[in-house]
Chains A and B, each alone.
Chain A
Amino acid sequence: MRQKKKQKDRIAYLFLLPSMLGVSLFSLGPLLLSLFISITDWNFTMGFGNWNIVWLDNFIALLTDEWFVASLVNTLLITLVTVPVGLSLAMIIAVLIDSFCHKKLANALRVAMYMPHICNIVATSTVWMALFSAYGPFTQLVRSLGWGNPPKWLASYTWALPALMFVIIWAGLGYSVFIYSASLASMPKEIYESADLDGANGIQKFLYITVPQLQPTTFFLTITGVISSVKVFGYVNIMTKGGPGSSTYTLVYYIYTSAFKYYKFGYASAIAMILFLILLIITLIQWRVNREEA
């Protein structure tokens, strides 16, 4: 019996081995290496191993680095705006589709809204760059709505970040609508019938039944949304390259430029460690809340 269990364990470990190898090689190893590099002054062009230990110098330098501060502020702004605005819009749209659309139309709408989520970021960014151009459809639309002299969105210190947030919200909306729609479909209809009998109107039902019932979904989407917002890179790299000035620099983009443009791998790893810390805190909060709910 004992031998049989041992044999079973061995097979289980064998099955686990590839993924353990993958995690060690591609996640754990680089993470530990990155942690080490963050306390060195390694410049990529000097070759692997040619570094000096500088301990916390990189982290201290970050405190007075205005580009890092700008990147951190922009990342927080993107997170604080895109997550709540995106989720609120997604919830409203999901409820509207669920309540007022015929099943076939509802499915078509959900699929259409989901498309940006599965489209290549390079393609969608390029399309949005054309839309935002001085004579592009988006700018013309804004002009036709009465804004005579709209800004050059991506070239404006004031408007580049909001334009970027707009695209991020647009790209993530379909996914959230899809998840909310699935949750709405599984909600018990009896509560609404009971509310109808009690004379509740649509807004009351939305605020006092739908929103609380969707809370676990909202929590899940908030956590995943916050994590993806903190890691935003693709749209910045393609649409603005962090500019003008530092107005759209984000933490991941700053890591990228420090490491792959200026080859300061030590410094870039220090920023990556800060980002890791932020994501770790978010994940720990998620675990904690999940455990309390369980």
Chain B
Amino acid sequence: MAESHGTPAKGTGAHTEADGGHGGGFPPFESSTFASQLVSLVIAFVALYVIVSRFALPRVESVIDARQNAIEGDLAAAQKFKDESDAALKAYETELASARTRAQAIGNETREKLNAAAEAERKTLEDQLAAKLAAAEKQIASTREAAMSNVRGIAADAAGAIVQRLTGVLPDSKAVSSAVDASLKG
């Protein structure tokens, strides 16, 4: 078998055809083909191993690692941004709260100030009014006094005149004035 295999390609082909084609040996158990297959397998498999271990796998690994790193980096960046936005939100809220209290304080202060000013104004106005009232009252009193004293004179004159008309006698002015005083008092 090996001899016929050893002859040039034409002879080898004829041999295989005759041998394996029709009812010959079972090709997988044809031991004359083993050496050729083994040599090819060794060359092919070693080539494959070298290609896979030197080029293919490191390349795939680097790409997968790069992707992993990119994903982790992106996640970290996202976390950082989230933290930043959380901090900004917190700062905004504290700022808002302090602004609110400040606004309240300013409002209160303004209200108090305005109240105080209004109170003071009211007081001065009241004082002024009171002073005016007092002055007016005084004037009324003096006017009344004056009027009263005039009334007395007029009353005394009238009483004297009445008495003279009735009696024909001019009454004593002293007696008239005391009588007028008495009646005014009553």
Is this pair of chains taken from one and the same complex?
no
Chain A contacts to B: CB under 8 angstroms: none
